[in-house]
Chain A
Amino acid sequence: MMTLSPQHSVSPAQVPGLPYRAGLGLKNEHFNEVLETSPDIGFFEVHAENYMVAGGPFHHYLGLIREQYPLSLHGVGLSIGGEGPLNREHLARLATLIERYQPHSFSEHLAWSSHGPVFLNDLLPLAYDTATLNRVCEHIDQVQSTLRRPMLLENPSTYVQFERSTIDETDFIGEVIRRTGCGLLLDVNNVYVSCINHQRDPLAYIDALPLRAVGEIHLAGFAEDTDSLGDRLLIDDHGAPIDNAVWQLYEQVLARTGPVATLIERDNQVPAFSVLLAEAQHAQSHLTQVTP
């Protein structure tokens, strides 16, 4: 006997999840090279907002690349932690993109980026308290019911903390995952950056997260600055090769999770495609080691 799932359940979409392989962020400067060389890579990830345009080269190339590779759609503008309601128009644009490209995964950030009429174009930090927790969970419920699929939520990189926070960041993330059924996009670079900035042990942070929910890992490079005390202040700028400390942490994560789809992110000072491919291959070798 057939049973029909309710229309708004977050049952998995028709497409399977991302392969347990290394993938790369797709940069428009690499469109042609990807199509001409068909690199052996597990998947590509794109920023959803870059493809919220009517037509032209971006859709042309993404369509061709999607025919050959699994795709991860990564949002940077939904402002899930925003104080106001989610932007329904933006959510509708996401639904349209998902319908068009049938990505294997959709992810967004535990952050806010819009306030009132203004979009601030950065992933801004949240005060972790009950009010924020309820709001974030409501927003994720809305996203998942609108898109009719579970999403992955990315842990943030942060530079300040709020006196108002009453919940630990890892507990906050764990509770959001428990309540909404969303998955975790574990950004290992963000863990490292935040833990250095806030004097935490990165591995203890990772062990405090519900690692069973990890659906994807992000690896990226950071920039280094100092604060008013001259202490290291790491900035998640996606503009450098992945740091050795982050590779080590990644290895420790994989020892706990087993193989997970792993993305190399580079959004600034984008190098030649071959440089990114080498980083992806390095991640792939770590994945192969933990693959049974």
Chain B
Amino acid sequence: MSLHDAFADALISPDLPCPDGLFSSNGADPASRFAVYRNNVHSSLINALVSAYPVTFQLVGEAFFRAMAGLFVQACPPASPLISEYGSAFAAFIQDFEPAASVPYLADVARLERLRVRAYHAADTPPMNQQAVLEALQGQTDLGALRLQLHPSLATLNSAYAVVAVWAAHQTEGTLASLNPWHPQGALVLRQGLAVKVFAIDAGSVAFINSLNHGTALEMAVTHALEASAEFDLHQCLTVLISHDAITHLHLEEKVSP
């Protein structure tokens, strides 16, 4: 076992003793000084999660969140120096974290917050001009074959809970009395300009947008959407995408001449 093997293991696992081979010039117990490093590692990573998951934090309170995040840090320490990416497995950890079971929507709120962080840092692909999108759609004779390329910040989430309503209720200091989290809700996250936005969308819109993101042409994407929800409203969904600069390219499927 190398010096750094032992040091790193003892940093991550608070139950391990201070590694051998350390000393303090004043003769103090090196463990009392090694503790500074251990605390730096754990508290900086827990703080990174606190910043990235503010509503998840509010839902369970500081003590619970820090304890849960601390266990996550031990189980899944970062694999990259890019701390903005740290926590992509946090929602899955929360899902299986027994003590959080009394807040069943907690993992989905964490998933939504992760999508917000991703959207914030996503690439700056320029959107199509809204008028140009409308004109292209209106002038199109074979609308069903059209493929829409969406902004890299854009992502969706399907939840068995009203994940957007729960998240939105924690963005203002209003009363939460009317909040009913016990119904399914889809979420759309995107960045328009510099601002990350969150919308509640139906399951049909989630299926539609996911199909578009997989390169499916419009007609087939609508079919998928209607399979997911008979109430899918194409006009309304396209309006949300166009008005929030979510469309970056329109491609017409190559047709083979008869």
A associates with B? yes
Contacts A121-B44, A124-B37 known; A60 to B194 CB distance under 8 Å?
yes
A232 to B: closest C-beta gap in Å: 10
Report B46-83 residues with CB < 8 Å from chain A CB.
Answer: 48, 77-83
Contact between A164 and B21, CB atoms less than 8 A apart? yes
Let me know if A150 is at the binding interface, CB within 8 A: no
Report A136-183 residues with CB < 8 Å from chain B CB.
Answer: 159-164
A87 to B78, CA, bound (A): 14
B41 to A: closest C-beta gap in Å: 5
Let me know if B248 is at the binding interface, CB within 8 A: no
Contact between A121 and B78, CB atoms less than 8 A apart? yes
Let me know if B106 is at the binding interface, CB within 8 A: no
A116 to B: closest C-beta gap in Å: 7
Contacts A49-B81, A112-B4, A162-B3 known; A55 to B26 CB distance under 8 Å?
no
A140 to B120, CA, bound (A): 33
Let me know if A199 is at the binding interface, CB within 8 A: yes
Q: Which of B7-15, B133-141, B177-185, B235-243 contacts A (4 or more CB under 8 A)?
A: B7-15
B175 to A: closest C-beta gap in Å: 29
Contact between B8 and A54, CB atoms less than 8 A apart? no
Contact between A49 and B83, CB atoms less than 8 A apart? yes
Let me know if A235 is at the binding interface, CB within 8 A: yes
Interface size class of A (residues with CB under 8 A): 35 or more
B15 to A: closest C-beta gap in Å: 17
A66 to B: closest C-beta gap in Å: 16
Q: What is the size, in residues, of chain B's interface with A at 8 Å between Cβ atoms?
A: 48
A225 to B152, CA, bound (A): 46
Contacts A53-B121, A161-B24 known; A119 to B37 CB distance under 8 Å?
no
Contact between A228 and B25, CB atoms less than 8 A apart? no
Mark contacts of A82-121 with chain B using CB atoms, 8 A cut-off: 1 yes-contact digit, 0 otherwise. Answer: 1100010010000000000000000000001111111111
Let me know if A233 is at the binding interface, CB within 8 A: yes
**In the complex, which residues of chain B have a beta carbon less than 8 angstroms from the beta carbon of A124?**
4, 7, 11, 37
Contacts A83-B4, A115-B5, A117-B79 known; A55 to B29 CB distance under 8 Å?
no
**In the complex, which residues of chain B have a beta carbon less than 8 angstroms from the beta carbon of A229?**
26-29
Let me know if A286 is at the binding interface, CB within 8 A: no
Contacts A83-B2, A113-B81, A120-B41 known; A56 to B121 CB distance under 8 Å?
yes
Mark contacts of A217-229 with chain B using CB atoms, 8 A cut-off: 1 yes-contact digit, 0 otherwise. Answer: 0000000010111
Contact between B82 and A118, CB atoms less than 8 A apart? no
Contacts A115-B5, A228-B28, A228-B29 known; A163 to B22 CB distance under 8 Å?
yes
Contact between A54 and B123, CB atoms less than 8 A apart? yes
A116 to B2, CA, bound (A): 11
Report B23-38 residues with CB < 8 Å from chain A CB.
Answer: 23-34, 36-37
Contacts A59-B124, A121-B45, A162-B22 known; A225 to B81 CB distance under 8 Å?
no
A87 to B45, CA, bound (A): 21
Report B115-135 residues with CB < 8 Å from chain A CB.
Answer: 119-125
**In the complex, which residues of chain B have a beta carbon less than 8 angstroms from the beta carbon of A79?**
81
Chain A residue at smallest Cβ distance from B119: A56
B85 to A: closest C-beta gap in Å: 9
Contact between B79 and A118, CB atoms less than 8 A apart? yes
B189 to A: closest C-beta gap in Å: 13
Contact between B81 and A114, CB atoms less than 8 A apart? yes
Contact between B124 and A198, CB atoms less than 8 A apart? no
Chain B residue at smallest Cβ distance from A76: B81
Contact between B121 and A122, CB atoms less than 8 A apart? no
19 more CB-based (< 8 A) A-B contacts, given A87-B81, A160-B24: A49-B81, A53-B121, A54-B124, A54-B152, A56-B124, A60-B124, A119-B78, A122-B40, A124-B4, A160-B34, A162-B23, A163-B22, A164-B3, A198-B24, A198-B25, A199-B26, A227-B32, A227-B33, A229-B27
What are the nearest 3 A-B pairs in CB distance?
A77-B81, A55-B124, A53-B121
